[in-house]
Structure 1
Amino acid sequence: MANGLKRTPGFFDFIIIGAGVIGSATACYLKKALPESRILLIDRYHTAGAGNTAKSAALFRNFFSSRTNRLLAGSSIKYYLEPGTKVQLDPTGYLWLFSKEQWNASRTAIHELDPEKNKFEILDRDRIADILGINYQAKGHFPDVNSGIFCHLCGSLSATALARHYASLFKSMGGEINFNTDIKEFIITGQNSCYAPWDNVFIDGIVDQKGNTYNAKEFIVATGAWTHDLLAPIGIASGILPKKRQLFALKIENNAGLLADSTSTIRPAIILPAGGVYIKPVFDKNIIIVGCADDLGQPFLMSDPEPDPLYFQRAIEPVLNHYFPELDFILSLKWAGYYDYHWPDMTPVIESVANLTWVGGTSGSGIMKADAIGRIAAARMQGHKEALLADGSKFRVSRLSLQDRDVEKEELII
């Protein structure tokens, strides 16, 4: 080529950028629906699910106020429960704790949900005490523990195993995968001026870090937190922004009731009422993984990817010390990644401009909704108006678009 770029052999029907859990699921369902199509899945890492997917706490829940999120998560969990998925699913439950003020703010949304259908129960302090030993009293910045929700169809799984599951199925059906391939730019053709309308332009190809170009009829961007940085230079406002999230593994020196009780009943994941701090017990390794769903003060930037020990000391450790004063632990491991947020409704986005579609904005719940999102994205790429989800329900594809969006604001946010 005149500009020195190297064109790769062949031409693809679809190229999917990003082999995290969302991109891999999309590739899998698109190839399943269109077995004769030539589809390429590209990722900057050495294997599927090695980016921010691997840095997730990998918790899943079906407990949302939004009917859209309940449907996306519930149908996905149904698929994960099937024996053939092998994603190390462990439905130990969620224990979501509320202060009196938080409960008053959330109870209208909670009481609109059917406990039997959504598999949860409302707990008072006495019932919480049967499950967990905790300091209930408010002090300073730490609110009281007034009420709780125990969600039965919740727990954890292996996010990396889930992404690799979809990528493996995709490859077994004849899909092509290029790992260690970092896409740096898009090649745009048909543009007469820098202000040309989008219906007069299209994406001709993409360029990787070695100068290789890849050409296709349709391009799908499923790059999570990198979506904004990838699309903004070509004039696309994706509605997706990155936010850093940090996780810390604590080696438990004494049980303190967080891993199991005296009968060896394994504890659920716990969401505390202060600062969005959450706890994931890992019983077989005698550790808990803790994180904090902070918002104000945490910038929407792809900043330093390293975890900050001071963050743990200032934002998380004081919360643990207050609610679990008997807890004795050693900080053994820490890591950081990024969520891809979509404001203001915290619900995924699937939108297109010309022959480019982006899928993301999962806002920290991509793993628990990945199967449904992959099916919906694949249906959109085929021009279908509806997608058939794992539980047999039908989902109107345009509901997750930006132009014809039809979703509810999520009220139950950690």
Structure 2
Amino acid sequence: MRLLAWLLPLFALLALAQDVATQEKRVRDLEAEAARAKALEQEAQARIQKLNQALYRLSKRVADLLQEKARLEKEIARLEAERMALRREIARLEEAVRETEARIAKLEKDLAALKERLQALMRSLHRERAGRYLPLLRAQSFTDLAVRARWVGYISKQDADLVRQLQATLKALGEERERLKLLLQSLSEKERALAETQRKLEAERQNLLTTLASLRKEEEGKKALLRDALSERQRLQSALAQLQARVLAERQRLLLLKRQEEERRRQEEERRRQEEARRKQTALRPSPAPAQVVVPPPPLPATVGRLAFPVPGGRVVVPYGQEGPFQVIAGPVPGSPVQAAADGYVAGVLYLPNLGYTVMLVHTETLSTVYTNLQEPLVAEGQKVSRGQLLGYTGGGLLIRPEELEFRVAARVGEETRFVDPAAYY
């Protein structure tokens, strides 16, 4: 447990760096998602503008058609009123024609009777020429004779004048009838022309009504699309606001993590500086023997035995202490298998883009091993492992060669836990 307590700061620093990288990636992902949402919101806004323009054009066209419809209905009403006036005039003329024809028929009848009277008189006078003087012979006196003769002549003259007057009246009535018939025919033709014009206007109005219905249907469809687009824009704006709030929160969290990382690094640098100062002070002190770089490792616990070499077929290319408290082991090929050095359990799994995955195994309370530069491991945190069990493959980091493994062994000596040379345990 003391070993874990000593190793936890190292893993905390690695975890903090991993959290910063993960947080940066999360912020980038959220910003990309927000950019996509913004683009979708702009597309929705452009679609709304197009729909508004289309609706404006449709509304203007509908208004123009309604104005044209009102004009047509006004013209149809005017034509209908004119037709009604013409019908009344035609009815009046037809009544006048009927009256004229009735008068003509009566006059013709009277004229026929008068002609018949005259013809009978002429036949009678022709048969009895002398008979025309009989009224004169019956006169009692010369005065009476003169009066009778004058009245006989007057009656004949009156009948002839009456015949001529009736004939003139008949001629005038006939001319009037013909004039009325011509006027009636002209009015009838005008009424038929108005009816044809009205029929065309009615057909035009019907076509206009059909077009109006189609435009109103299209307008309703555009309005439905506009409502959907407005709802979609509102949803996108809400999602965008949430994403922007999340981006802001994640940025603040990233800033906090960076500050924490800087503080941890500063503390680590301060610790190293103090250690370097202590080493320099120790180096300045007179010593009968030179300082040892490599501290002799403690013996392994009896329950562990010798450690298995972590990379089968590999070789040590950088010994312990040359570049740090670890060995660099090169496998035969990139992506070489890495195995557990002894029985134990997985105490932690960390990932850093530059170092790949790091797996820490705890074997006993005084012994642990650490494997760095793995691809995605084949074991999980808390899992028990056995000696020689495959942990993963090399090549997970960017700054370490794909065939190499950084291998650490941590052992507790007395009250102190430190990294030791793994070569002593193979």
Indicate the structure whose relative CO is greater, using CA pairs within 8 Å and at least 6 residues apart: 1
Looking at secondary structure, tell me which structure has more strand per residue. 1
Q: TM-score, normalised by structure 1?
A: 0.19
Bigger helix fraction: 2
Q: TM-score normalised to the size of structure 2?
A: 0.19
Who wins on radius of gyration, i.e. which is larger?
2
